Amino acid sequence: MTTIAYCMKRRQVAIDSRVTAGNEIVSDNAEKAIFQEGLIVFFAGTVSHVHEVIKALQTGRHKVRCSLDLSGLVWNGAALYEFDVEDGEIDWHEVIDKHGAIGSGAAYALAALDSGATPCQAIREAKRRDAMTGGKVKLHRLRAAE
């Protein structure tokens, strides 16, 4: 899994770089932000599923294979959306919260954000407590579309 933290006031999203398979750490240096056709997709879940979900989001579809396991955030240059795939259905909605977190270490990251931490600090806090969160912390600034 992974942990993603965001702060709309700062226009920042931070994400860790750990990839796991069950309880085994596969990599601590994965890129979990994909830039594609004006979108930035930050994802937590099975890496091999991300492109199918991106294609569905781009075409407005809400159905994918039932076996997909993925959640995350999408920035389109104007708004941030949260998505979750469950039983082949993509549920996505615009983020209206000032800050938030998703993924395996979300509770730890959200507690840190609520206490005034930046998204990077929140991910570091999640790394200390959640075995599925680790590796490098990568910060992305949400810029308006040109």
Evaluate whether 63 touches 78 at the Cβ level (below 8 Å). no
Tokens representing residue 70 in the block: 């993925």
pLDDT value of residue 142: 96
pLDDT value of residue 60: 82
* CA–CA separation, 107 and 34 (whole Å): 24
pLDDT value of residue 107: 98
> What's the CA angle centered on 103, arms 61 and 133, to 5 degrees?
135
Digits of tens for pLDDT over the chain (146 positions)? 799 999 999 999 999 999 888 889 999 999 999 998 888 999 988 777 888 888 888 888 888 877 777 899 999 999 999 999 888 889 989 999 999 999 999 999 999 999 999 999 999 999 999 999 999 999 999 998 76
CA dihedral 97, 142, 28, 134 (to 10 degrees): -30
Q: Which of helix, strand or coil describes residue 143?
A: coil
CATH ID of 3-141, from 3.40.50.720, 3.30.420.40, 3.60.20.10, 3.30.360.10: 3.60.20.10
Prediction pTM value: 0.92
pLDDT value of residue 53: 86
Look up tokens 């997709």; give the residue. Answer: 41
